[in-house]
Amino acid sequence: MTDTLQRKPVSQVANSDCFTEESLTKLKEIMYEMRAEAGNHLFWEGDAADKLYFLKRGQVKITKASDEGKSFILYVYNTGDLFGQVDPFQNSVHSFNAEVTENSIIGVIQQKDLEVLLWQHGDLAVEFMKWMGLMHRMTQTKFRDLMMFGKPGALCSTLIRLCNTYGKNHGSEIVITKKLTNSELADMIGATRESVNRMLGDLKRANIIAMENNYIVVKDLPYLRDICQCENCPVDMCRI
């Protein structure tokens, strides 16, 4: 049982899977590698937004802090994910913070280098455009899920996205192979820790989810889908 949990989850898919092998190689050729320790920041809001980041290994969260000290987690990126901004303005700055939450190895792409590459390789440009479209749609659907179905809907949507990102099938159950605190979940849906705790309690009591070695196990995915009116969108889009 425990050893099953340690294995790489079958469904773990990186957003860079949009790219063909060749395109990803081209991108890798213009990266320079850096290492970042957990707790550091890749960028802060207000910093110039002129780089893309390829997470070779590790984890980075994109967050926003409010004046009252609350934190909102917009995205969680993992090994193999590509992220960052490519904006039309010279003086463009980030609106969010990028917090390194696990020791990471990161490939950095300068906007100028990327532009040259896209200019030269039409096929890469087309793939890149599709990757951007996918990322945008992920934001839009998350936006919808978090705005339209109350806090329980937001939580259920987030649990589904966690299944799509970290889920490992285990019979009819799905183990979310990623430890998450109630506070983390709360920051992902803009709720309080207490609310998340109560909602998770409700779901456990209704036998929708369970805990196994502190991992969340989803036992009734259709129930979660029903709460947030999930339309069963592609796994690659419906992620954290």
Partner DNA sequence: TTTGTGATGTGATTTACATCACACTTCCTT
Partner DNA sequence: AAGGAAGTGTGATGTAAATCACATCACAAA
Q: Does 18 bind its own copies (CB under 8 A)?
A: yes
Q: What HEC string does the chain produce?
A: CHHHHHCCCCCCCCHHHHCCHHHHHHHHHCCEEEEECCCCEEECCCCECCEEEEEEEEEEEEEEECCCCCEEEEEEEECCCEEECCCCCCCCECCCEEEEEEEEEEEEEEHHHHHHHHHHCHHHHHHHHHHHHHHHHHHHHHHHHHHHCHHHHHHHHHHHHHHHHHEEEECCEEEECCCCCHHHHHHHHCCCHHHHHHHHHHHHHCCCEEEECCEEEECCHHHHHHHCCCCCCCCCCCCC
Q: Does 38 contact its own copies by CB under 8 A? A: no
123 touching DNA, by CB under 7 A: no
CA distance 222 to 218: 10
Cα distances (Å, whole numbers) of residue 148 to 140, 151, 152, 154, 157 = 12, 9, 10, 8, 11
Single residue of 36, 96, 156, 180 touching its own copies by CB under 8 A: 96
From its own copies, DNA, none, interface partner of 131 (C-beta below 5 to 8 A by class):
its own copies
67 binds its own copies (CB under 8 A): yes
The DSSP bridge pattern shows strands 41-43 and 167-170 to be unpaired
21 binds its own copies (CB under 8 A): no
Q: Binding partner of residue 198 among its own copies, DNA, none, CB under 5 to 8 Å per kind?
A: DNA
**Count of residues engaged in binding DNA, rule: CB under 7 A:** 17
Which partner, DNA, its own copies, none, binds residue 152 by CB below 5 to 8 Å per kind? DNA
| Interaction of residue 71 with DNA, rule CB under 7 A | no
The sign of the torsion formed by the CA atoms of 149, 151, 155, 156 equals negative
Query: Does residue number 144 form part of the binding site for DNA (CB under 7 A)?
Result: no
> Interface mask (CB under 8 A) for its own copies, residues 111-130, using x and -?
----x--xxx-xx-xxxxxx
Which of DNA, its own copies, none lies near 140, with the C-beta cut-off 5 to 8 A by kind? its own copies
Query: Which of these ranges, 83-91, 116-124, 185-193, 223-231, lies near DNA under the rule CB under 7 A?
Result: 185-193
Query: Per CB under 7 A, does 151 bind DNA?
Result: yes
Q: How many residues bind its own copies (CB under 8 A)?
A: 52
By CB under 8 A, tell whether 85 contacts its own copies. yes
Smallest distance from the beta carbon of 3 to its own copies, in angstroms?
Answer: 35
Residues that bind its own copies (CB under 8 A): 18, 45-46, 64, 66-67, 70, 72, 74, 85-89, 92, 95-96, 115, 118-120, 122-123, 125-137, 139-144, 146-149, 190, 229, 231, 233-234, 236
